[in-house]
Homo-oligomer: A and B are copies of this chain.
Amino acid sequence: MNTQTELLAIQDVAEATGLSVHTLRYYERIGLIHSIGRAQNTHRRYSMDDVGWIEFLKKLRATGMPIHQMQRYAELQRMGDETLPERLEMLKELRRSVEAHLAELQEHLKIIQYKIELYGEILAERTP
């Protein structure tokens, strides 16, 4: 099988993932993405696995995980299977924080909703 044809340039990955090329290089510099291949001309060549990992990173970020924790997670991933328990712990902790955040947002949504209804009623009274 020809793996060569599956390799993407940084611009392609930027378009595929929605991250900027700047951010992709930044993530690599700080250790979130590792061992990205280089073409003979030193240009980065991303595999499909790399893109999958980047998509996972995006999800971690979107849940509010801070960069330094993502760095730790990436480091553990690099270290291999014996770090599975620690990664599992990190994911469980993340789940806890996402669930808490969800609950908070739902509470606040109720208050916003209440206020919208209140304002709506006041406006309806004023211009019947």
Taking Cβ atoms with an 8 Å cutoff, the residues of A that contact B are 59, 62-63, 84-85, 87-88, 91-92, 94-95, 98-99, 101-102, 104-106, 108-109, 111-113, 115-116, 119-120, 122-123
Additional A-B contact list (6), CB under 8 Å, known A59-B111, A63-B105: A63-B109, A84-B119, A88-B120, A101-B105, A102-B109, A105-B105
Are A112 and B88 in contact, with the CB atoms below 8 A?
no
Are A88 and B102 in contact, with the CB atoms below 8 A?
no
Most central of A92, A99, A111, A112 by chain B CB within 10 Å: A112
* A106 contact set on B, CB distance < 8 A: 102
**A99 vs B122: C-alpha distance when bound (angstroms):** 24
